[in-house]
Structure 1
């Protein structure tokens, strides 16, 4: 492993945080402090732990509730870092904190900026049927994901990719983006590109209720919603005949479904969701509570 004289404070969470910290270590950067989050007990934790990685490498880590706290500012000021990095940390960092980085403060964002600024960009991109997304390293500014662009790496979104699958690609893209950008950051030879916000888009966070299926939408729209929130995310759901159902796995199909009403149906011992445009989504795994429902069980539930 190479060594540098660069010292960093890192704000990180999730798989992108883990891989990015490992990338900094591989480039010989001295990570003086990592700021991360306490895991939310109400959230399905399917991703790697930044705190565990720090413990393995003997890196000090803390989990303050508020990155705007005076105590955190004082702690970072005492370190006098060359760089501040944010890798999937879930809070905006205050400008006065960013100014403590002598050689710049940079964030890795999960989209091809200026598209999909804001929260959960992978889920939004899949929901909107995008065929490409990526990772962007950019300067941090007062507005979210608004600073100049340092580097980007694109990844494809295939027609049947779920957000979870795209996030796996994005984690690799984030690592590649950082790896390619670090030599320039360390040497001071970077050529930032303008982040043209007027050509992009901004989206807020998503709530579980946003996963409710409207069967009057087109089959492609329903399928995109499923892909955007498929497990390990909470899943696209709907209520029918007094039961709540969640789609675990599905595929878009060209199967003819006649003049069936929108919603769930069992045809030839297979489960379909009929949509507003007359097309259907074939449901390969339908969940009711914690267990999968068979076609025969569903027929009885809908009777």
Structure 2
């Protein structure tokens, strides 16, 4: 009779789709998921419809127990979870600090799937900052969880090139798959004692705090490349915007023009078959997809033929 392999037990913590892809990978690999922890349901949109996280939806579809404490530390849920005493505690974009007492409940290790090449971009928005800063590459780190944010030893890393057409949404999707596969390659090494861990170089630490409201605005002090990187980094959420004619204009897609201009930053360069704006250093940005305040997204041709047609070349139409 063939011996049945007993898979390690896991408490999984995550919230967005990045986490749900990793969770589904663990489920498909037959890990024993004892509990799933995710952020509380939240109201979204104008109608404030209550929305379940992607991780919760995946957990429910697989009949897994779900915990949703507003704050894990000191909660009744944490006390219950500690009693599970799993082999692994695994997080992937959960969104809360985890108390040391909870991390110590893992019999083998607490492990995090982080969307950057640590020690670069510790914090809550690593994927966004890799785009905003114009990086050539990014990747995933499988790391030890410790009390200090994203400061644990590195177990494994894998890098990918950031393509010119990438935005935050496409990178999240790519890195979630890489993170899933890298985690599944790494966990067995704990079992057979072949795991290695490398301390992070503290001199190379870069932080990536959550995106603030102020960071969402495209400023005319930016070059066209910097503006385009911000647009890519904040697409699809929360979106970058211009103060166009003193009103918010979200920009979902743009491209840097090879053209140069002597017009002041914020001026209209062209609204004939394109909608081009002057930015710092004489650089020019072509808008491709926009969303006027209170309206739906539209391609730039429709915008240029409507609102954009009433402005003159050289007119300063962007405010800071």
Q: Distance in 2 between matches of 1:16 and 1:185?
A: 23
Deviates more, 1:242-251 or 1:145-154: 242-251
Can you list the C-alpha shifts for 1:129-186, whole angstroms capped at 9, x where unaligned? 1011111110101111111111111111123321111112111111121121021123
- Match of residue 196, structure 1, among 193, 201, 226: 201
CA shift, 1:269, in A, is: 3.2
CA shift, 1:128, in A, is: 0.5
Can you list the C-alpha shifts for 1:260-286, whole angstroms capped at 9, x where unaligned? 232252332310121011111110112
Correspondences of 1:204-243 after superposition (within 5 Å): 204-230=209-235, 232-243=236-247
Match of 1:282 in 2: 286
Contact 1:3 1:28 in 2 (8 A): no
Pairing 1:136–2:134 present: no
- Match of residue 116, structure 1, among 121, 138, 152: 121
Pairing 1:298–2:302 present: no
Compute the TM-score of the two structures, normalised by the length of structure 2. 0.87
Match of 2:13 in 1: 11
Q: Distance in 2 between matches of 1:46 and 1:77?
A: 27
Match of 2:316 in 1: none
Q: Distance in 1 between matches of 2:93 and 2:83?
A: 24
Contact 2:39 2:53 in 1 (8 A): no
Q: Distance in 2 between matches of 1:170 and 1:127?
A: 17
Q: Which runs of 4+ in 1 moved over 4 A?
A: 43-48
Q: Distance in 2 between matches of 1:131 and 1:4?
A: 42
Runs of at least 5 residues in structure 2 that lack an aligned partner in the other structure: 313-320
Contact 2:41 2:53 in 1 (8 A): no
Q: Distance in 2 between matches of 1:47 and 1:163?
A: 21
Match of 1:259 in 2: 262
Contact 2:43 2:51 in 1 (8 A): no
Contact 1:212 1:236 in 2 (8 A): yes
CA shift, 1:221, in A, is: 1.0
Contact 1:262 1:275 in 2 (8 A): yes
Q: Distance in 2 between matches of 1:190 and 1:253?
A: 48
Compute the TM-score of the two structures, normalised by the length of structure 1. 0.92
CA shift, 1:189, in A, is: 2.7
Q: Distance in 2 between matches of 1:47 and 1:173?
A: 24
SS for the counterpart of 2:83 is: helix
Aligned length: 300
CA shift, 1:96, in A, is: 0.9
